Every structure is written in C-alpha cells, then in structure tokens.
Structure 1
C-alpha cells in the first residue's frame, strides 16, 4: 500500500533514528491543478514514525498511530521531502514515561517540504505507546 502513496524511502540510518522520504511529483499523484494530491502527501508520511518506534523500542512495546492533523501551507508543485527523526533523549523519555504510566500518547511535528526547506504541509502525529503486557491486559478487560 505504501508504494501507492508514491512515497519513497531515500535514507534510513542503521539505528532507524532517522528516516528520510521523497514524494516525487508524477502523473500518479498529481491533482486537478497540477500539485501533489494532499492524500498522497499524507499517505507517504503515515506509517513511518510508528514503524521507527516499533523497531527502536523492540518487541516488548506496542506502538499505534493514534491521530494526525495535517495543515496544508502551500501547494506542492515539485518533489516533496520529509525527515522523521527520534533523538536518543526522546527515546529515553518515551521509555521512562511508559515505565511510569504504562501507556503514553507521544506527539511529533513533521514538515513536508521542498528540497530547500519551504514547507508544503505540517503534521502533528500522535502515537500510542505501551508495554505489550499492559496493552494485552487492557484489551482483555474491554472484552
């Protein structure tokens, strides 16, 4: 499904703390006025933070995309780019919060830009994070 967004991963650091994507403008994602379709911009960014955190935190954690708000700033009449980054201090903060509270909502701000940094869209993405044990216990109580 990710391929249909037209998004392409162009860089991933070995530890997955940094992932960069490109959303090329093409006939596949061009809208009526010739810019990148907003849904394509959104879809190309959708899974990255979740997958990063799942890999960084490891198998003892549950990570879900919970909410995204997107604010379109200007039309993308050229290729678009986004950089997804987690610092070591952010990962430590997430681990500490989950340890203390069992589950947390963590929000990241993401900019979709041109090659020079001009912003096409701004997203705030909220991720749900918990330990697998707590998540399973919580889900069993809802049944």
Structure 2
C-alpha cells in the first residue's frame, strides 16, 4: 500500500518530500513518536528527532527504549530501497540497541549513506549476488551526548539472484 501511494505521489512531489512526509503521516511511524526532520535530495541523509512526551515516557520519567528503537528501525531499509531502485531486494535483518544513559529530552539520529558506499554495495552485489550491510548510528541529544548506540544489519540482494535463491529453498 505505501509503495503504491509513493508511486502516485511521484507525479507531484520529489523523492525527498515523499520520504519525509510519507513517514511522518504514516500511522505506523507516528506511533513510534519519531519524526523525520531532514532528508537530502538524493536520500543519502536522513535525520530524525524523537521528542520526550507523555506518549513515550516510561515509569521512571525517561524515554521508553522501545520508542527509540521503533523510531529508528525502518529508516535505513526504506532509504536503501529508494536509493537502489527496483533491481534490488532490501530487508532489515537485525537490530540491536545499547543504551548508554536515560533520554530525558528530545533525541536525534542521523542515517547516512555516502556515494562511495552505494557504489560499493552495487559492486559487491554484482560479484556475490547478496550482501549484509551493518550501520552503526548513535541516538544523541541536542548537545551530542550519546544516549544509545544502534547496530542495524540490512540484507541487500540482486532481485534475480533473490528469486532464484527462494526457489531453491522452497
């Protein structure tokens, strides 16, 4: 459903606008309490904020850790799907979060892919058919204090390779 809506919206809006407002208006993402505040035109950079509010405040008054994880979880996968295009399959494979200190105010997280990383991803997939990518962003406060360290593993494959692999595993 979301992909269909995005394809229709491409007639009127840029990819960056669709990415930002699509996430922010999506009921699935709104429940995480996260909000996308910045997206580069090429989608290689995304910044989110997660404000501390009554919706995500835990028993001891700091931010519920699940809110931080859910607000950060889908970003890289959808970012890569849009950057790489329809010739690739992209799936979230694993996520871990290590909390360093309680979040007692709004926190932020940046998701970055360099042009070189994207080139390397495509090159590695052309050689191997599939790869896992691990990204390690931090959730930080306004003054750059690290609240939590994330580790996201994303599976990326050539679509033809992926279809053949699934046939063999059925």
TM over 0.5: yes
Quick one: which of 63, 68, 71 aligns to 2:95? Answer: 68
With structure 2 as the length reference, what TM-score do the two structures score? 0.83
- Corresponding residue for 1:115? 142
Q: Deviations over 1:88-121 (max 9, x none)?
A: 0110111111111100001000100001110100
Quick one: which of 15, 19, 26 aligns to 2:46? Answer: 19
In the alignment, the residues of structure 2 paired with residue 117 and residue 58 of structure 1 have an alpha-carbon distance, to the nearest angstrom, of 33
Q: Indicate yes or no: 2:158 matched with 1:131.
A: yes
In the alignment, the residues of structure 2 paired with residue 66 and residue 80 of structure 1 have an alpha-carbon distance, to the nearest angstrom, of 24
Question: Alignment partner of 1:34: what SS?
Answer: coil
Quick one: which of 10, 34, 37 aligns to 1:10? Answer: 37
With structure 1 as the length reference, what TM-score do the two structures score? 0.98
In the alignment, the residues of structure 1 paired with residue 157 and residue 45 of structure 2 have an alpha-carbon distance, to the nearest angstrom, of 22
- 1:98-109 to structure 2, matched below 5 A, reads 98-109=125-136
- Choose between structure 1 and 2 for higher RCO, CA contacts under 8 A separated by at least 6 residues: 1
Q: Indicate yes or no: 2:111 matched with 1:84.
A: yes
- More helix by proportion, 1 or 2? 2
Question: Alignment partner of 2:137: what SS?
Answer: strand
Quick one: which of 46, 57, 60 aligns to 2:84? Answer: 57
In the alignment, the residues of structure 1 paired with residue 142 and residue 126 of structure 2 have an alpha-carbon distance, to the nearest angstrom, of 39
Quick one: which of 56, 65, 69 aligns to 1:42? Answer: 69
In the alignment, the residues of structure 1 paired with residue 135 and residue 112 of structure 2 have an alpha-carbon distance, to the nearest angstrom, of 9
In the alignment, the residues of structure 2 paired with residue 13 and residue 103 of structure 1 have an alpha-carbon distance, to the nearest angstrom, of 27
Over aligned residue pairs, what C-alpha RMSD do you find?
Answer: 0.6
